[in-house]
Structure 1
Amino acid sequence: MLVPGLIQRQSQSLVMTPQLRQAIALLQYTQTDLAQHLRQICETNPLLILEPGDTVPEATPASEDFHDDDPDRFTTAPARPEAATPPLSDRDELILQIRLSILPADQNAAFHLLDSLDESGRLPVSVTDLAAELDVDASHLEEIRQTLMHLEPVGLFARSFEECLAAQLRVRNRLDPAMQTLLDNLDLLARRDWRRLRQKCALEQDDLLDMLAEIQALDPRPGLSLSSPAPPIEPDLIVRPNGTGFRLTLNTRLLPKLRLDDTMRAHLDNHTEAGKALLAYATEATALIRALDSRKHSLLTVGRTIVQHQAAFLRDGPTALRPLTMREIAERTELHESTVNRIVNSKYIDTPQGTVPLKLFFSTALTSEGGTSQSAHAIQHRLQALVAAEGDNVLSDDALTALLQKEGFSIQRRTIAKYREGLGIAKSSQRKRLRRTS
């Protein structure tokens, strides 16, 4: 028989103090958002003074040098770091994506397609006519167009309104047979013939309404953003060649500096109501300054580790990307994986290869028979090269798998299919049909 009594238990839990919550929140801010957040705080805290930011190294190193032959040796940069590049327009961002996603031999054709877009972002000229102008194979130009159509903003380079919407749905993994049927019958949608639409899509009314809501959320004219002013994107980090290595700089050009107002601090006093209020402001201000220093240190630490690992990318471009996960960065920096995720999310780095998101450097590893690993991004570029060079001998997914396995990669057909779809490359049967019709 159980006898009621008292039982003591000991447990541990992480208490989220206001200071800890603030430090975590600061990690997630972009340069622009953080600057705005600091201005808002300074409007309510009389002890804080804002000063213009810049990229000059401070007492806490904002810039570090490292070399390939000695990747663990860092020193504070003795000179003023190079300034960040100005913010890119949406068109410049698209040009950067084309340079990163399209093989060099195909980039002239890709830029010709870009120059041929109308104001809505669609391609008013047939691919066959453009291919004749460029003196290139029409089916190969169509493959380039398919890849371009899935860059940001998705839906550019489409030949029709329906194709524009289909591309956006495809990247969201929502282009199922019912949705494709809906796109094939947009004339019924325009006439509001709901009964026939439900019949053709074989859907109940609620399901059809859900699909219509998804259609309404798409951008029918993605090209408009190319002519509108781009929101400023300020890189958080800048990396530049420096002798035989690289220099990594924390960009604080837009980020104002904070300091305590010494005059106001002289009035801190526990014995008056005004003095007690200032003490509370002083506590808030000190915690904010510490959180900013922590953010700076964490961003430099993570950025340094990423750049060390991806030094080949800085020299040779996307095909030299190495596999990397956030868990690996967390282990090397002794930070929590969730902290690493917050640091790299929505952050940009200005590199010799252009200004790119930090998340670009993370991809899964594919292991070769010799035990070496290669980035999934690098494999995707190799896949693009094989398709680009296939000529009249169109390669099936099985053939592409066999070729890559022959090159030493332990890759399966389903992975090839996933990468091909992600790159916007049509199936072999579709590519064959395109070549026949062209």
Structure 2
Amino acid sequence: MSLGQRLEIRQGQGLVITPQLQQAIKLLQLSNLELEAVVEAELERNPLLLREDGEGGPDTPDNDNDTPREERGELELSDRDTQQANSDLDASEGDVYGDDEPTVREPVASADMGEGPMVDWSRAGKGGGFDGDGDTLDHAMSRDKTLAEHLMDQALIAGFSAPEMAVAQILIDAVDEGGYLRADLTEIAERLGCSMALIEKVLGVCQGFEPTGVMARSVPECLKLQLIERNRFDPAMAALIDNLELLARRDLSALRRVCGVDDEDLAEMIRELKALTPRPGAAFGAEPQAGVVPDVFVRQDLSGGWRVDLNSDTLPRVLVDQSYHAKVVNSARSDQEKTYLSECLSQANWLIKSLDQRARTILKVSAEIVRQQDGFFVYGVEHLRPLNLKTVAEAVGMHESTISRVTTNKYISTPRGVFELKFFFTSAIAAADGSEAHSAESVRHKIKHLIEGEKASGEVLSDDRIVEILKEAGVDIARRTVAKYREALRIPSSVERKRMIR
């Protein structure tokens, strides 16, 4: 057999993911906040995109085509803009939809759960101009102080010298939201070029600030500071704090020996310990946390079924400014400008198509999940059915990866609360009698319910006993699975629960 080089022509088929398709896939898995940021960026980058207000017209002073675009605060095409935009745009395949495609999307109706009002598009964001910032000062004056601000106010009147104040600022910056000092004192001393004695002196003063227990380096030290402030830190209490692991295990006999007290004194010490605050900084304001905004609403209709609607507040409302496109395309002076306008129009049409398809896909998948988990909405978590991505994908005619993207970071508001769509996908646990399998979430709920009933019955159930009870109820489950679910629910073992009852 001879070896050599030769030239051959082969024909084959392959899947090429275009930039437009990559964008559509990306939009599908974004949360509503991430989608808002993407749309805002596209509005700034693409001069042919406009935001539409709630009344159905563009979010501009008027819709008159005779008004110059620059007077309406919109972008003006120039050679410099064209060259810059061309350098930023990826290679495009042209207008993938053609000139006959609509540029304003049709409203999306509710899913097949009953007739109802149409779902329209709303604004993607609020903008960042000065006009909307009128209440910023009032908000800053009315908000609660953060823990760092509260500590700094006390440091300013503590009588620190200039070096001590510098150390205090570094220590306060290292305090977390719970009030604990998360820093290595040796590293701070080396960084500031000062002695450990100065660091410890400043820390000792700062640990006397309000709230009591703040700037401790561990839970025992935090409790110790609070007990010292109450004048209750004696040798017995010190021994109790040094052996918190015994208290966590409810090993009261070992605690009595270590502390050298009787049952009554130990019970009193434990009550005092429970009255302390393990997170002294938790009562102070922190950075505001964004609340969960549901993407889908589920409501019960008059016929007893369930209505599934998109949350229009989370859907961006954008359209293509065809009048501006017609005006500038006729005045294009070079092939480069014409190419730029063609790419902008193609990308604008594709973005609108992708947003519409994303909304319809979320609605379709959510409707199928509601149909599959109807028992949960009617009767509760014990009737949650086993469900996986493949089941929903086959029902709606999509790929499993698409269902996974749709249900990521998407939330649904139901009469039983707000849940992530992933919540409804649970593994299956076989039934003992060969009937329909049980959802893992419903089995966890049953285990929790059984253990919560121990106080009324006076019987502490072991994991083996829970397995027997569940098998009598038709759930075929192993002991190690019961132990895993119990630990996931943060429920102690039967031995530890017996100690807590004593």
TM over 0.5: yes
| 3-state DSSP of counterpart to 1:356 | strand
Match of 2:441 among 377, 399, 404: 377
**Equivalent AA in structure 2 for residue 433 of structure 1:** R
Q: What residue is the counterpart of 1:324 in the other structure?
A: 387
2:252 is aligned to none
AA in 1 matched with 2:438: Q
**Mapping of residues 9-408 of structure 1, within 5 Å:** 12-52=13-53, 59-66=106-113, 75-78=114-117, 120=178, 161=219, 223=282, 229-243=288-302, 244-266=304-326, 267-268=328-329, 272=334, 273-368=336-431, 369-391=433-455, 392-408=458-474
Partner AA of 2:418 in structure 1 = T
- 1: distance between equivalents of 2:425 and 2:310? 20
Q: Are the aligned partners of 2:109 and 2:119 in contact in 1 as well (CA < 8 Å)? A: no
1:53, 1:254 within 8 Å by CA — same for their partners in 2?
no
CA RMSD, Structure 1 to Structure 2 (Å) = 3.4
TM-superposition CA deviations, 1:261-307 (whole Å, max 9, x none): 02122133587343332111101101111111111121111111101
TM-superposed CA distance for 1:40, in Å, is 1.4
Can you give the 5+ residue segments of structure 2 that lack an aligned partner in the other structure?
56-104, 123-176, 181-217, 223-240, 245-277
Matched with 1:419 is 485
Q: Distance in 2 between matches of 1:357 and 1:16?
A: 29
1:373 partner letter? A
Residue aligning to 1:434: 500
Go from structure 1 to structure 2 and tell me whether the alpha carbon gap of 1:315 and 1:262 turns closer, same or farther (over 3 Å shift). same
Q: In 2, distance between residues paired with 1:263 and 1:389?
A: 70
- Structure 1 gap segments, 5+ residues each: 67-74, 84-118, 123-159, 165-182, 187-218
The CA distance in 2 between the partners of 1:351 and 1:234, in whole Å, is: 12
Identity %: 38
Q: Rate the CA distance shift 1:45–1:328 in 2: closer, same or farther, 3 A.
A: same
The DSSP-based 3-state class of the residue aligned with 1:64 is coil
Take 1:349 and 1:226, find their aligned partners in 2: how far apart are those partners?
29
Whether the 8 Å CA contact 2:111–2:364 is kept in 1: the answer is: no
Contact 1:348 1:358 in 2 (8 A): yes
User: Which residue does the alignment assign to 1:192?
Assistant: none
**SS of structure 2 residue aligned to 1:313:** helix
Write the distance in 1 (CA, Å) between the matches of 2:423 and 2:284: 23
Q: Is the 8 A contact 2:385 2:438 kept in 1?
A: yes
Bigger fraction of residues in strand: 1
Q: Tell me which residue corresponds to 1:103.
A: none
Amino acid paired to 2:497: R
Equivalent pair of 2:111/2:309 in contact (CA under 8 Å): yes
**1:42–1:408 distance in 2 versus 1, CA, 3 Å:** same
Specify whether residues 227 and 317 from structure 1 end up closer, same or farther in structure 2 by C-alpha distance, changes over 3 A only: farther
- TM-score normalised by the chain length of structure 1: 0.62
* Alignment partners' CA distance in 2, 1:402 and 1:308: 33
Partners of 2:27 and 2:358 within 8 A in 1: yes
2:174 alignment counterpart: none
- TM-score, normalised to structure 2, is 0.54
Partner letter of residue 380 of structure 1?
R
